[in-house]
């Protein structure tokens, strides 16, 4: 079982940056694909980025590819999402997710392991 724990959310002003982190308790990342999703109230959970743990990909949603970057540190067993030039529309709960295997997917239905989410609020 992979248990995910996100951190790094908070309140920032438009134009600022945040870096989210996700690590595991229990099993470490190994033969996994990991990704970031975002949920805004009243909307479906949205794919942001994914990467395979061996380094395949990464893949980013078109809506954020110019501002967000996913990465991972194998030695620290940590997944990151660097978010730059944040906008008020980026406000939401950000989730780390993982699936078994080294196959990228943008569908939340293909991710079996989820963190509890971390709130990001961007003020104008």
Q: Summarize pLDDT for 49-103 with one digit per residue, the tens.
A: 999 999 888 999 999 999 999 999 999 999 999 999 999 999 999 999 999 999 9
Find, among 76, 2, 81, the residue nearest to 37 by Cα: 81
The secondary structure of 26-89 as a DSSP string is: ESPSSSEEEEEEEE-TTS--EEEEEEETTS---EE-TTTTTTEEEEEETTTTEEEEEE-S--GG
Q: Which two tokens stand for residue 10?
A: 């908070």
pLDDT of 57: 87
CB 22 within 8 A of CB 78: yes
Query: Does the pLDDT value for residue 2 go beyond 90?
Result: no
pLDDT of 107: 96
CB 79 within 8 A of CB 28: no
CB 99 within 8 A of CB 109: no
Q: Summarize pLDDT for 5-28 with one digit per residue, the tens.
A: 999 999 999 999 999 999 998 788
Rounded Cα distance between 96 and 114, Å, is 6
pLDDT of 26: 78
pLDDT of 56: 83
């Amino acid at each position: 079982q992979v248990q995910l724990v996100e951190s790094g959310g908070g309140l920032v002003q438009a134009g600022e940056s945040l870096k989210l982190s996700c690590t595991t308790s229990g099993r470490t990342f190994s033969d996994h694909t990991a990704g970031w999703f975002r949920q805004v109230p009243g909307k479906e959970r949205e794919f942001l980025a994914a990467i395979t743990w061996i380094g395949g990909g990464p893949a980013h949603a078109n809506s954020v590819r110019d501002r967000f970057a996913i990465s991972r540190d194998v030695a620290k067993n940590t997944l990151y999402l660097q978010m730059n030039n944040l906008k008020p529309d980026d406000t939401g709960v950000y989730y780390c997710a993982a699936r078994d295997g080294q196959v990228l997917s943008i569908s939340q239905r293909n991710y079996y392991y989820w963190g509890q989410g971390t709130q990001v609020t961007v003020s104008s």
